[in-house]
Amino acid sequence: MKPDAATRYSRYVEFMNKIADIRNAGAVLQWDQETYLPAGAAEARGRQIATLSEIAHAHFSSDELGDLLQELNGSGDLTEKEKKNISLTLDDYNKNKKYSPAFVRNMSEQITRSFHAWMEARKKNDFVVFKPELEKLLQLKKEEAHILGFKGHIYNAHLDEHDKGLTVEVTDKLFQDLKKVLKKILPDLITYDEEPAFDFSMKKDLQWKLGIEVLELMGFDFQFGRQDISEHPFTISFHPTDVRLTTRINESNFSGMLWSCIHEGGHGLYEQGLPQNESGLPLGEACSLSIHESQSRLWENCVGRSIHFCGFLLEKLRLYDPEKFGKTDLQTFYRAVNKVKPTLIRTESDEVTYHYHVLIRYEIEKELMEGALSVAEIPERWNQLYKDYLGLDVPDYKSGCLQDIHWSHGSFGYFPTYTLGSLYAVQFFDTYKSTNNNWRQEIETGQFNSIRNWLKVNVYDYGKFYNSLELCNISTLHPLELSRFSEYLDTKFKTLTASII
């Protein structure tokens, strides 16, 4: 690299790290808001987060940065990775320039108000408490779509934000094809569905200890991360050396806490594994939310709900509660962990019916964005779709349309990434297995170095160099294939069904 280009690129890195520092300071305040913030501090916290958002926006839309990016863009004196950082940053810069400082502040403050209204609504089990703040936030998200610009459906603006190139047309086709797969497999699970319930109760302190132990075995490094309790499990990262996970605990069902830990642990490993030398730059960021969700779903389902991990876990549980688990055989435990039965709560649903939960949210968001559905009509529409798709009656708001945190964050367009992530997860895991003949024995003995190393080389280290579909092609040597996911479900659940007939 010529001296002039080297100097300008160093200035660019310095500029981007400063912006990352401001954004991450805001993210720390957000994490605190969702874990330890006193109830009376909500208004002040909203102002603080909004101020940092506005400052970060000002830096990222400054003429100085724009001139620097234009000077570096297309320079023949940069490495391939440096060129990619510049082109991706320039795309984000041009998008960011479309926002006014007032809009950025307004959006940030409204998200804070919406989050606290959602928390209060859940406590009171009353959607009406959340409704006015969600209406304001939805209006801002519609305005944002027009600010960003879109082709076709207005919802495309937000789908693209979470996975570049994702559209309503693509997502509709995905769910159309997936519904055929789910309808084909579900009738074979009727007998399995009738199996007696398994006792997953466990005291809070034991659950916490178990969750931490499993996260450590997965390789989550607590020297550079921590776990706390929140209303809704999430992962947030301020740097690969500071990654925070949260979970929630229900003493009557430790499976919810445990697989939540494994799910968030998958997110956490991705964040801890991103290239530190690219921190603050696009190549130090996750590829997309679909790929991020592939990491959590891979650990949660492909590993965590496999018979190999269940055998390992059962041995652990016998140490935690010998009286309850001492006489439990592996097949009984494995079937209980993978029991297929429609439930109201998305985060506690099985691998088969899970995607109906995602589809319901996708359909509602699409209707909200296009104006076919009002916020006031959400509960009725939600309940109708749960009856149509899962045959369930929704008894209250907390187990219905107030269960997810996403809308309070303004995260419209996020939900489809859970299903896409599940498809990517299976394909990544299949490819990993083909490289390691000992994968079964390693999972059975709680050894996860090889799978973590494979993910580091084939997913983490690329950062944002490729988009989701490109990364899938590079890492698995195939495009994303629904047939791989269909085969995975068919093989796993027909085997489970056959074992109890």
pLDDT of residue 290: 98
Evaluate whether residue 144 is within a structural domain: no
161 found inside a domain: no
Assess whether 451 and 396 both reside in one domain: yes
Tokens of residue 142, six digits: 């519609």
55-91 pLDDT, tens digit each: 999 999 999 999 999 999 988 899 999 999 999 999 9
Look at residue 327 and tell me if it is in a domain: yes
pLDDT over 70 percentage in the chain: 97
Q: Report yes or no on 158 lying in a domain.
A: no
Max CA separation in the chain (angstroms)? 73
- Same-domain check for residues 103 and 12: yes
Q: Does 155 map to a domain?
A: no
- Same domain for 252 and 392, yes or no, is yes
Count: domains in the chain:
2
Continuous segment of H or E residues that includes residue 238: strand 235-239
Average pLDDT over the chain reads 94
Given 126, 149, 176, the domain boundary residue is 126
Among 1, 12, 459, 4, CA closest to 280? 12
Query: With 70 as the cut, is the pLDDT of residue 147 above it?
Result: yes
- Is residue 460 within a helix (H) or strand (E), and if so which, with residue range? none
Q: Identify whether residues 108 and 218 lie together within a single domain.
A: no
DSSP 8-state assignment for residue 294: H
> What pLDDT does 250 receive?
93
Q: How does DSSP assign 173-222, residue by residue?
A: HHHHHHHHHHHHHGGGGHHHHTSPP------HHHHHHHHHHHHHHHT--T
b/e 61-89 (16+ beta carbons within 10 angstroms → b): beeebbebbebbeebeebeebbbbbbebb
Average pLDDT of 378-407?
97
- Residue 447 shares a structural domain with residue 354: yes
- Assigned domain for 160 exists: no
Q: Do residue 281 and residue 357 come from a single domain?
A: yes
Same domain, 216 and 340: yes
pLDDT at 5: 86
User: Both 216 and 270 in a single domain?
Assistant: yes
Q: pLDDT tens digits, residue range 20-41? A: 999 999 999 999 999 999 989 9
Token pair of 413, please? 């367009």
Q: Is 485 a member of any domain?
A: yes
Mean pLDDT score, 316-324: 92
Confidence grade of residue 500 (pLDDT, cut at 50, 70, 90): very low
Q: Looking at 173-177, 307-311, 325-329, which range is the least confident one?
A: 325-329
* Residue 185 placed within a domain: yes
pLDDT of residue 2: 55
Predicted local distance difference test score (pLDDT) of residue 196? 58
Whole-model pTM?
Answer: 0.95
Active site residues: 264
pLDDT score of 130: 98
Tell me: do 371 and 305 sit in the same domain: yes
- In the chain, how many H helices and how many E strands? 22, 3
Structural domain for 78, as ranges: 3-126
Are residues 82 and 282 in contact, defined by beta-carbon separation less than 8 angstroms?
Answer: no
| pLDDT surpasses 60 at 406 | yes
Single out the residue in 96, 126, 156 at which a domain terminates: 126
C-alpha to C-alpha distance for 336 and 114, rounded to whole angstroms: 37
Q: pLDDT tens digit string along 478-491?
A: 999 999 999 999 88
pLDDT digits over 177-231, tens only?
999 999 888 877 755 555 556 889 999 999 999 999 999 999 999 999 999 999 8
Q: What is the CATH number of the domain that holds 310?
A: 1.10.1370.30
Verify that 116 and 203 share a domain, yes or no: no
Say whether both 301 and 402 belong to one domain.
yes
Q: How far is CA 50 from CA 35, 106, 148, in A?
A: 19, 8, 20
CA separation, residue 164 to residues 156, 159, 259, 298 (Å): 10, 8, 28, 21
**Same domain membership, residue 417 and residue 335:** yes
Flag whether pLDDT at 268 surpasses 60.
yes
Q: pLDDT band at residue 164, thresholds of 50, 70 and 90?
A: very high
Each as own residue / partner, the long-range contacts of residues 479-484 (CB below 8 Å, 24 or more positions apart, any chain) are: 480/420, 480/423, 480/424, 480/427, 481/423, 481/427, 482/174, 482/177, 482/178, 482/181, 482/423, 484/423, 484/426, 484/427, 484/430
Integer Cα distance of 462 and 464 in angstroms: 6
